[in-house]
């Protein structure tokens, strides 16, 4: 069975600084997708960024980028120029190519220090 | 852009009562998912439907049932409610075959069982 592990329950970063959230996963599949979702205090689940496993190039969305290491099964999220609005719970998630559902990690709560 | 619509947003029920949550997926999306998120937990997959047929099943209690209708909206029915059913229930949708089958979440329905 696939698993997603986020080893950092909480992290803090100074406003305008850069922070990296870690995520590792375990799978025997070769084709899959990885996601980072953000859940602010409103509890809405917002897609931040997506990575297809067959793509070697790391995905980037404005201030958000990932470091995807397929061999190491690692998928970290880097947030540059952190803003107060980035404070939220961040979930790493996995979806197999033949699966419908996505599997979430336990989440990392990110605090932004003014 | 239209998003996933869930109703009601908040619901309070007593133990042993029945509750029904509704979900309207993003237009043209053919797959609907239901997730349950307890306090301080990651979302847990309950069930999914593709083209009105159940496509996958997760940790959904036997007291719960769901279906997807001809207009692609879905309903989650929960009977004999227990205190432990108090949670945030997400509906999500995706379009099969699109890149990553990215899953988009609604804002969730808060169920409180008293």
pLDDT tens digits, residue range B21-76? Answer: 999 999 989 899 999 999 989 999 999 999 999 999 998 999 999 999 999 999 99
Look at residue B99 and tell me whether its pLDDT is greater than 70: no
Which residue intervals of A1-114 are DSSP H helices? none
**Closest CA of chain B from A46, distance in Å:** 7
Which DSSP category does B76 fall into?
E
Residue A44 has its nearest CB partner, among B45, B101, B107, at B107
Q: From the list A33, A103, A104, which residue is nearest B100 (CB)? A: A33
Contact with chain B for residue A45, Cβ under 8 A: yes
Asked whether residue B1 carries a pLDDT value surpassing 70, the answer given is no
Give B109's contacts (C-beta < 8 A, 6+ positions apart): B6, B7, B8, B9, B10, B11, B21, B88, B89, B90, B91
Collapse the DSSP code of A9 into the 3-class scheme (helix H, G, I; strand E, B; otherwise coil) and give the result.
coil
Per the CB < 8 Å rule, is B103 touching A104? no
For A55-86, write each residue's pLDDT tens digit. Answer: 889 999 999 999 999 999 999 999 999 999 99
């Amino acid at each position: 069975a696939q698993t997603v592990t986020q080893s950092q329950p909480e992290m803090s970063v100074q406003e305008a600084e850069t922070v990296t959230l870690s995520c590792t996963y375990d799978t025997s599949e070769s084709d899959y997708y990885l996601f980072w979702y953000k859940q602010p205090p409103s509890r809405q689940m917002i897609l931040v960024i997506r990575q297809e496993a067959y793509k070697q190039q790391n995905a980037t969305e404005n201030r958000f980028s990932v470091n995807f290491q397929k061999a190491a099964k690692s998928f970290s999220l880097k947030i540059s120029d952190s803003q107060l609005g980035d404070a939220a719970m961040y979930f790493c998630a996995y979806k197999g190519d033949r699966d419908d559902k996505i599997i979430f990690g336990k989440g990392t709560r990110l605090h932004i220090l003014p | 852009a239209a998003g996933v619509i869930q109703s009601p947003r908040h619901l309070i029920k007593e133990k042993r009562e029945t509750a029904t949550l509704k979900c309207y997926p993003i237009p043209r999306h053919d797959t609907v998912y239901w997730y349950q998120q307890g306090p301080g937990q990651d979302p847990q997959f309950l069930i999914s439907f593709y083209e009105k047929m159940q496509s996958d099943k997760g940790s959904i209690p036997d007291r719960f049932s769901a279906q997807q209708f001809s207009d692609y909206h879905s309903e989650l029915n929960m009977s004999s409610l227990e205190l432990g059913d108090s949670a945030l229930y997400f509906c999500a949708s995706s379009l099969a075959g699109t890149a990553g089958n990215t899953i988009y979440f609604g804002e969730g329905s808060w169920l409180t069982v008293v």
